[in-house]
Structure 1
Amino acid sequence: MKRPPVSILRRGLGALALAALTLPAVAATLPSRAVLSGGCCPGAVWTPDSRALLFLDGPPARATTGIYQVPAAGGTVTRRFSSVAYFSPALRWAVRPGPGEATTLERLADGRRFTLPTYGADVAWTRAETRLAYVRSATTGNFDRRATRVFVADVFGAPRQVASLTGGSLHGWLNDTTLLLSGKPSAQARDRELFTLDVRSGARRVLRQALNFRSVTASPDGRFVAYTVAFDSAARNGLWVQESAGGAPRELSTFGSYRWRDARRLLLIPLNAAGGPHELRQYDAAARTWATLGDLGDQVRSSDWSVSPDGRQLHYLSARDGNVRVLALP
C-alpha cells in the first residue's frame, strides 16, 4: 500500500493534537472527609478563621442545646456558645430576639448591649461590623404590595429609616455606606428593581428590572452581584452576574446553586436533573472564564453547602448519607 505524503501525516497529527486540546477535560472526583456523621447537622457555617464549622445541636446527641464546633479536619466536637442566637459573620456580636419588638444585640468581647425594634428579625452587618441594617414589613396582605421599611444604625446608636420598598428585600451591604436592595417602585408596578442605595446621600443606582430577583448575593468586596431571574420572559430568565457600579448584566451559560469563593470567583453546582454526582464549576467574573474543578462523587442535599472565608475549603451536606463533609478546593 502506498504511504501518504509526510505533509498529509503532519497535517493529520496536527489536527488530532488540536482536537485533543479543545476537548473538555474529564472532571476528577474531589476527595472529601466526613466531619459530622449520623445525619448531623444541616445548616453548618464556617468560623471566620476557616478552621472549623459551627452548627446547632442538642439532645439526644448532645447534653444541652447550643452552638457547637467541629474542626474542618474532623475531630472532637466542642460547645462554642451555650445560648442560641443570630451571630454576626465575624462572631463579634450575638443578636437575641425578645418576645416583642425589642431585639438585644450583645458585643461578645465585653458583654455591652443595646436594643433595636427588629421584631425578632436578624440584621445585616457591614464588614467591619460597626453598622447594621434591618427591615420592618407589614405582616398581612399580598407580599407584592406590602410596604417594607429599611433602617440602618451604628452600633449603640439609634436607627433611622433610609428607604421604603413595596414587596422588597434587603440583600446586604456592598460597602460601609451602600446597601443592595430590591423592590417595586409602586404597588401597581409589574417589575421590581434591583438597586444600590447610598445611605448617606440617598443616591440610588438601578442595576436591573425584572418580575422578581432570587438568590441575590454580592461578592465579598461588593464589586459583583449574582442573581437569578425566573418566571419572567425568556430574555430575562437565567443566572446573571453584574458589576454593582453598573454596566450590562452577563448571563451565565450554566444554571444551578452558587456561592462566591472570593472577590472575583463564583462557584456553581450545575442543576443535574439526570442524577449522578454533582459537579463543581468556577466562573471568573473579571476574566469571564469558566473552569471545571471536579465532581463531588456525591450529591448535595437541599443546596446545603458553603465556602470557607479564605476560599480554600468547601463544606456540604451529603445527600448519600446525611454526613457533613469538607473538601479542599483546587
Structure 2
Amino acid sequence: MKRLLLTLVLVGTSALAATLPSRAVLSGECCPGTVWTPDSKALLFLDGPPARASTGFYEVAATGGTVTRRFSSVAYFSPRLRWAVRPSTGETTVLERLVDGKRFTLPTYGADVTWNDDETRLAYTRSDTSGNYDRRATRVFVADAFGSPRAVATLYGGGVSGWVDDDTLLLSGKSAPGNRDRDLFTLNLRNGAKKTLRTALGFRGISLSPDGKRVLYTISFDSAARNGLWLQATAGGSPTEINDYGAYRWRDAGRFLLIPLKSAGDAHVLRQYDVKANGWNTLGDLGHQVRQGDWNISPDGKLLSFLSARDGNVRVLTLP
C-alpha cells in the first residue's frame, strides 16, 4: 500500500511539471527503433521503399535536416559502429570490422552478439530449439575478435545481460532445469568465479550502468518482498529498492531516467534518480506520450529521443 500511494503521488506531480521543449527530426511515422550514433550527433534508423530508394540504415542529425544513407547493407551493428554482424544461412555468422573490411566467422546460428566496451571481445548464446523455455539449455560462448569461441557457462531459461568489464559477464538464468528461481550473477572469465547478486522467479529490464558498476532490474510475479524495481552494485551487496516503477534508461554512470507507468492520457513525465544522492528530481514532462517504450538517451547523456504516440514523429530534446 505504501508503494502504491507513493507511485500515485509521483504520477500526480505531472500537472506541475514544466514541459520540456522538443523538436521533430523525423516525420511521417517512418522510423521506429532509432538509435544514437556513438558521437551523439545523429540518429540511425532502418528504412526502405517507398519512403527511401533502397533498404538500408539511414542517418539524420540530432537537430533534424537532410536524411542520408549510412549503411547500404542490413546487419546488426555494434554500439560503437566498429563491426557489422551478418548472419547467413545455417550456423555461420560473418563479423566484419568496418574500418578495414577484415572478417571472421562464428557459429551463432543467426544470433546477435554482445560486445565488451571497447569491442575487442564478444559473447553470444546458443539454446536448445525445443521444449519449455524455462528448461532449455542455453550455452554461453565468448571469443576475442578474430579468435575462436569457447563455452563458459550453461544456463536454463536465461542468457547474457552484458559485460561488467573486459573479464566479467553479467548473466541470468537457472543452474538446473527443474529449479523454480533464476540467479542474476557475474562470471569472471579468467578464474571462473561466480558471484550471485540476486535470486528470484525472474528478472526483467536488466540494465548495466555505463561503467558496469551498477545494475537495474525489475522483479515481478514473485513475493511482495522481491517484487519491484531494484538497483544493485555488480560487486555485490544488498540491493536498493527504487520506489517508483516505469521505463528506465541510464543517463550516465551515476544517474538514470525513468518515465513512471501511468494509465491516463497525459504527457509522460521524465524523472531522474541520482545514485550518490539517493534521491529523485522531476525534469519535466515530454509534452507527448512515448509510443511503445521507444526512447533513448544519447551516449553523452545530453539528449533524449522518443517516438511520439501523438503524431508518430521522432522527436529530440535537450536534457536539463
Q: TM-score, normalised by structure 1?
A: 0.92
1:310 corresponds to: 300
Please tell me whether residue 178 in structure 1 is matched to residue 144 in structure 2: no
2:257 corresponds to: 267
> Structure 1 segments of 4 or more deviating over 2 A?
23-26
Instruction: Count residues in correspondence.
Output: 308
SS at match of 1:261: strand
User: Which amino acid is the alignment partner of residue 176 of structure 2?
Assistant: S
Alpha-carbon distance between aligned partners in 2 of 1:304 and 1:169, rounded to the nearest angstrom: 23
Alpha-carbon distance between aligned partners in 2 of 1:177 and 1:225, rounded to the nearest angstrom: 17
Please tell me whether residue 153 in structure 1 is matched to residue 143 in structure 2: yes
Kindly report which structure 2 residues correspond to 1:1-330, keeping only aligned pairs within 5 A, or say none: 26-330=16-320
Shift of 1:122: 0.5
Shift of 1:274: 2.1
RCO higher in structure (CA 8 A, sep ≥6)? 2
Alpha-carbon distance between aligned partners in 2 of 1:86 and 1:172, rounded to the nearest angstrom: 16
Alpha-carbon distance between aligned partners in 2 of 1:136 and 1:25, rounded to the nearest angstrom: 48
Structure whose CA Rg is larger: 1
Q: Which runs of 5+ in 2 are unaligned?
A: 1-12
Alpha-carbon distance between aligned partners in 2 of 1:24 and 1:261, rounded to the nearest angstrom: 21
SS at match of 1:254: coil
Shift of 1:24: 10
SS at match of 1:106: strand
SS at match of 2:134: helix
Taking a change above 3 Å as real, the CA distance of residues 24 and 271 of structure 1, as seen in their structure-2 partners, is: closer
2:3 corresponds to: none
State the Cα deviation string for residues 275-325 of structure 1 (Å, max 9, x = none). 201000011122211110000011000000000000000000000000000
Once the two structures are overlaid, the 10-residue window that deviates more, 183-192 or 212-221, is 183-192
Superposed CA RMSD in Å reads 1.2
State the Cα deviation string for residues 98-156 of structure 1 (Å, max 9, x = none). 01100000000000000000011110001110000000001110000000000000000
Alpha-carbon distance between aligned partners in 1 of 2:63 and 2:89, rounded to the nearest angstrom: 39
User: Which amino acid is the alignment partner of residue 209 of structure 1?
Assistant: T
